[in-house]
Amino acid sequence: MKRLAAGVAGAILLASAAQAQPVTRAQTTAESAPVIHLSCYRGPTERVIWDRPDGTFVEDLVAYGYDYANAEAIARTICTDQSLVGKPDAMAEALKATVRKVPPAGRR
């Protein structure tokens, strides 16, 4: 029981300390844009037949301002593009280009 209490107290102290730290790229404030974690499941084959966006990718696009249907469509398009397989920098550039071309409704 003492270990549990000490663990909880430690977690509270860590949470308090984290609040005092400056904002990083992974955090969101009113002055900063949300970070979009570009994350795709890659299937066992070279082809993209099993590939799909991970949930965090779609959720981050929704947090950025897209409705769920458009967030899913954008994420699926990026994750199933055969020319982007194994090229994370190219995937990031493709996502940036898509966001510039079709910004979310609240950011136009």
Residue-level pLDDT, tens digit, the chain, 108 residues: 343 333 333 322 223 333 333 333 344 444 566 799 999 999 888 889 999 999 999 999 999 999 999 999 999 999 999 999 999 999 999 999 999 999 998 776
| Model pTM above 0.85 | no
12/6 Cα distance (integer angstroms) = 10
Q: Residue 85 — φ and ψ, nearest 5°?
A: -60, 125
3-class secondary structure, 73: helix
> Three-class SS of residue 98?
helix
pLDDT at 104: 93
What is the predicted pLDDT for the residue at 105? 86
